[in-house]
Amino acid sequence: MKKIIISKELIQEGKNIVDGIYFPLNGFLKQKDLSSVLENMRLENGKVWTMPIVLDIDEKTKKRIASEEEIQLTNSKGEVIFLLKRISIYKLNREHFIKNLFGTNDKAHPGAARALKMKDFLVGGELELVKRLKEPHRLFYTPKETREIFKKNGWANVVAFQTRNPPHRSHEYLQKTALAEVDGLFVNPVIGRKKKGDFKDIHIIGAYKVLIEKYYPINKVVLGTLHTFMRYAGPKEAVFHALVRRNFGCTHMIIGRDHAGVGSYYGTYDAQKIFDNFSQKELGITILKYENAIFCKGCKNVIFEGQCNKHNEEEKISLSGTKLREKLQKNEGISEGFMRKEVARYLMNQKDIFI
């Protein structure tokens, strides 16, 4: 059987498929499914799915496997990790892919820039796991494991929070607002490749450990990692994130402003509006749409934007991951209104915290 060596990142994507994290996918997308996902935000069979999970190959590899029905996918050591069955090879329509996924073909968009480097052909097929490698992180759980954890904790309703940043007070406020409505919180940071200037994974996890230990109710929060890469696809990535958390067993998902966005490519609340295209039944998860949260010095508390009419705008601090990165890069002080002092201290004591 002919073999293809695939990257660690693609091996992880394959694991996400076979573990059920990317349900309803059963393999890398074939051409009709890819076109439907890009144009209709659904697989060809009508099931909601918004993210193209694909395996790209060059022309030389395409010619080598053109007559095959089944191939082996190996790591760089030559170990066979997957079988890819009933394969189908087709040419990547790069412009169509980029424009429909990201809504822009601007090369400055980090997701578009990555897609421009993809190889010219895609191979789809059904995946079968041959060898399970060591799990990528001790905080990684499969959907089977998270469902067992939630059941053991007695959580009938669980809210998920997606993040690629350490937690500032806005994040904490959204999480605790949601936690008041459900039994438990699943904080699920993305661990994997991100754009230059983003926080390193280890420090995102470290900061959350500090916050959860100091400021969250005992036995109400599970911290677990999602191993994939950021696409920065804004609204479509928000739906993808929600479907993944549904597969982990979450019943609710927090979607705030600029979810999975970058720069000014998407409107502030586009990631919330996109969910109007789907019924809650077909999504299988309840979306909690929250306004922007700010810190009001006059109120001495975090509030939703527009909630306070007593104090002027100068007393209101806008909170964001971008501003946090700027403050840390400039070695500026971080106020208690912006971030819990213990979390800020943790970050300021670390070296080389950015990618």
Q: What is the pLDDT of residues 201-246, one digit of tens each?
A: 999 999 999 999 999 999 999 999 999 999 999 999 999 999 999 9
Note if the pTM is more than 0.85: yes
164 noted as active-site residue:
yes
Q: Up-side HSE of residue 234: CA atoms within 13 Å toward CB?
A: 25
* Catalytic-role residue among 50, 165, 188, 251: 165
Q: How many residues does this entry show for the chain?
A: 355
| pLDDT one-digit tens code per residue, 33-43 | 999 999 999 99
94 noted as active-site residue:
no
Class of domain 143-348 as given by CATH: alpha beta
144 confidence band (pLDDT: 50, 70, 90):
very high
320 confidence band (pLDDT: 50, 70, 90):
confident
Locate the domains of the chain by residue range: 3-129, 143-348
Model pLDDT, residue 267: 94
Where are any strands of DSSP class E within the chain? 3-5, 27-28, 56-57, 70-74, 80-91, 121-129, 158-163, 184-191, 221-223, 226-227, 252-255, 286-289, 293-296, 301-304, 316-318
| pLDDT one-digit tens code per residue, 69-110 | 999 999 999 999 999 999 999 999 999 999 999 999 999 999
Percent of the chain with pLDDT over 90: 86
Rounded CA-CA distance 189/222 in Å is 11
* Catalytic-role residue among 61, 163, 225, 251: 163
CATH 3.10.400.10 fits 3-129, yes or no: yes
142 noted as active-site residue:
no
* Catalytic-role residue among 50, 100, 164, 246: 164
